[in-house]
Amino acid sequence: MARRIFVVSGATGKQGGAVTRSLLKRGHSVRALTRDPAKASNLRTLGAEVVEGDLRTGKGLPEALYHADGFFILTTPFDKGFDTPDYDSERRQGRTALGAAKSAGTPHVILSSATGAFGDSGVSLFESKAANERRMKELELPGTILRPATFMDNFTSAWGLESLRAGVLSFPAPAETRVELVAVSDIGEAAASVFELGSVGFGETIDLTGDARTFVEIARMLGSWIGRSVHFQEEADPRAKERFGAVPTAPDPEEERRRIEREIEALEKRWGLHMTRFPTFLGSTPVPRLDSER
């Protein structure tokens, strides 16, 4: 595979960082786009070219996209923090980034969206991403939409340690709801594979799922991971339900499990991937120290 140049937005975050690492590992050049280059020293160490740019304003995008072979676009409503989501900002980021790709004639665009961003969901978290998907299609860009499922990494991140310390996993859904999961590292591998496959991925919308577990199962596995009991508690906060929406409960849970497994197998075969299962993910994740002083 010839060495190519790819621009990756959100490169200092989990998802953009995973895409950057996967592309570099495959021998490609990466222009890591970030609003704050000072935070990207680790990417420089890995061999990425760090470029200052802002999807909100378009600053730096024409320069970053000059002679680039591809552009990984990651938008977010949480650039001001998880407590103050700005969905209009995410739409603006999408319009600005996609417009810049169109103007630059970028040969391949990958737009990162989310499972559930099919439009008319009534969930703000999904509607802004669905709007960006529509904009990409309106511009007739040569590209691919990736729709990652819920991140496995969310359950082991620093912000979740307090609840694990208390032995509780909470979410605004019934305990037996089966939630689709994906490891962030697999998003990086998927994006790199799709870029390398080129026009094969044009016009495709790819749902990225590596496993599917009920919240009861997730709580039990997290308990085994940290070495203490963890139980699931359905969250009643209406603000959380408004953000995440209603998670449907399948009429036949076992058939749903088999369906998702078939879809994962088809995903792996079609795109040359090996998706990480949740037990494997936990087994490769360092166990945090939960008894440190607060």
Q: What is the residue-level pLDDT of the chain in tens, covering all 294 positions?
A: 678 999 999 999 999 999 999 999 999 999 999 999 999 999 999 999 999 999 999 999 999 999 999 999 999 999 877 778 899 999 999 999 999 999 999 999 999 999 988 767 678 889 999 999 999 999 999 999 999 999 999 999 887 788 888 899 998 888 988 999 999 999 999 999 999 999 999 999 999 999 999 999 999 999 999 999 999 999 876 655 555 555 555 567 788 889 999 999 999 999 999 999 999 999 999 998 876 544
Amino acid at 165: R
Residue labelled with tokens 């088999």: 258
CATH 3.40.50.720 fits 5-151+182-208, yes or no: yes
Using CA atoms, how far residue 101 sits from 58, 83, 141, 142, in Å, is 11, 31, 8, 10
The pLDDT of residue 294: 43
Which residues, in sequence order, are CB contacts of 233 under 8 Å at separation 6+?
168, 169, 170
The confidence score (pLDDT) of residue 290 equals 74
Which residues is 168 bridged to in the sheet? Answer: 231
Q: How far apart are CA 35 and CA 18, in angstroms?
A: 18
Vertex 28, ends 25 and 29: CA angle to 5°? 115
Residue 293 has a pLDDT of 43
Whether 23 contacts 32, CB under 8 Å: no
The whole-number pLDDT of residue 146 equals 98
Q: 120 to each of 36, 127, 147, 150, how far by Cα in Å? A: 35, 7, 16, 19
Q: Which two tokens stand for residue 169?
A: 């996993």
Tokens encoding 1: 């595979």
The pLDDT of residue 243 is 53
Which pLDDT does position 240 carry in this prediction?
A: 56
